[in-house]
Amino acid sequence: MELRDFINLLNQSVLGNPLRVWLFALLFSLISFTVIRLALRLIKRRLSVIAARTVTKMDDLALDLLSSTRRGFILTWAMYFWSKPLKLPVTIDKLWDRLVILALVFQSAIWGTRLIRFWLENYFQKKAQEDIATATTIGLISTVTRAALYMLLALVALNNFGVDVTALVAGLGVGGIAVALAAQNILGDLFA
């Protein structure tokens, strides 16, 4: 292949953009991904040294959240950032926006689960050692809180894909009230 043929190939249009622009976007996405991963690794290494020397739990939480950040999430956002200069068809651009929001929702679910676990472990730790019933309550609160988080994130994801969630939210509200009234005595005993 001669240089002229290679240049002509790079000038070929793919979805309204020259191939060279696509290659630059991909290259810069991979470079950004690598830089962010290296920066996270460096921050985690330094934070783990700090966390080992301190008594506070917040640095442990920050380290846990950084460690739970998924590579796919970082790559998706790097590709999203570098795809913005591309002139994509409207349907593909909207689909790409929705997929990026979906990646954020999944990563938020991971971070939220870690936050809930951290809060419950640290807030109820002393009480759970004193009372066995408290340990059962912690398990129930953990399950209910995570379920609420997942429902909220599912509603955000559905809304992002164009589903009208107002009727669903109203139905969940009425259903929640019905369950709360039916289980009023059980919940009262549990929280007592």
pLDDT per residue, tens digit, the chain (192 aa), is 677 776 777 778 777 788 888 888 899 999 999 999 999 999 999 999 988 888 888 888 899 999 999 999 999 999 998 888 888 888 888 888 899 999 999 999 999 999 988 888 877 766 666 666 666 777 777 788 888 888 888 888 888 888 887 877 777 777 777 766 666 676 666 666
Secondary structure, 3-state, 147-179 = HHHHHHHHHHHHHHCCCCCHHHHHHHHHHHHHH
Triad 176, 179, 185: Cα angle to 5°: 130
Residue 73 · residue 106 · CB < 8 Å: yes
Alpha helices, H only, 54-165: 58-67, 71-83, 90-123, 125-130, 132-160
Residues with Cβ < 8 Å from 97, sequence gap 6 or more? none
CA–CA gap between residue 2 and residue 80 (Å, rounded): 33
